[in-house]
Amino acid sequence: MMRQTLSALLLAALLATPAWAQTKKELAAKVVSLQQTDYEGIGRALAAQTAQRVMSAVGQALGQLPADKREAVGRELQADIQKFHDGIAPQLAERAARLAPAVVQPALEEKFSEDELKAIITFLESSASRKFFNVIGGLQPAIADKVVTDTKPSIEPKLKTLEQSLQAKLKAAASGPAPSPAKPAASGAKK
């Protein structure tokens, strides 16, 4: 009776186990595919960091402008920086997602066993999942470096163009007449 119960439990466990890829390489590829949105997030974070650096530099320059010009020029420059960010964020997200597997998959294959990769795929709370998040967290700078290197030729000219445009607007605002603010709607009787 005990032997039959044990056999039944073993059979049930085997039937309940999902169909796993057979090789360590396939298991690592599956883990990588489950993390794609995280890699895209690295690209979006790079875009945000770049825009923030530009915004910081602009903020310092805006402080040099006459007070009556700061707000209008600041809004205009902020719109330019947002447009720049919106233009590069999808490109960086796509590139990070495309380049990350080449960085992550070999590390997973090297640092994890097949059983650990299976545990990660099923998101079990185990020592394997803690190890996985530590390894992946450590790989984010490598992914970011790879994305920067890969996208620099296409992003750098856009950044230079933005910087030149912002400098020209700041220079014009510092030396030219104050921009005319939008006229408020009429409120009240004429005098």
Give residue-wise pLDDT tens across range 27-46. Answer: 999 889 888 888 999 999 99
d(CA 26, CA 53): 40
pLDDT confidence band for 12 (50 / 70 / 90): very low
Count Cβ atoms within 10 A of the Cβ of residue 42 and give its class: 0-12 exposed, 13-18 middle, 19 or more buried. Answer: buried
CA of residue 116 relative to chain centroid, distance: 27
- 8 Å CB contact between 108 and 135: yes
Q: Average pLDDT in the 111-128 region?
A: 77
Contacts of residue 162, Cβ cutoff 8 Å, sequence gap at least 6:
54, 80, 81, 84
Q: For position 127, what pLDDT does the model report?
A: 66
Q: For position 168, what pLDDT does the model report?
A: 87
Q: Average pLDDT in the 110-118 region?
A: 91
Q: Average pLDDT in the 109-120 region?
A: 90
Q: For position 14, what pLDDT does the model report?
A: 44
Maximum mean pLDDT: which of 8-12, 94-98, 141-145:
94-98
Q: For position 9, what pLDDT does the model report?
A: 43
d(CA 95, CA 31): 18
Upper half-sphere CA count for residue 42 (Cβ side, 13 Å): 24
Maximum mean pLDDT: which of 47-51, 72-76, 142-146:
47-51
Q: For position 15, what pLDDT does the model report?
A: 45
105: pLDDT strictly greater than 90: yes
> For tokens 């490598």, what's the residue?
142
| Alpha-carbon torsion (105, 109, 112, 117), positive or negative | positive
d(CA 33, CA 15): 25
Q: Average pLDDT in the 162-177 region?
A: 82
Q: For position 153, what pLDDT does the model report?
A: 92
pLDDT confidence band for 13 (50 / 70 / 90): very low
Q: Average pLDDT in the 169-181 region?
A: 71
- Across the chain, mean pLDDT equals 80
b/e burial code for range 139-165 (CB count within 10 A of at least 16 → b) = bbeebbebbeeebeeebeeebeebeee
Q: Which residue has the higher pLDDT, 61 or 28?
A: 28
Upper half-sphere CA count for residue 23 (Cβ side, 13 Å): 5
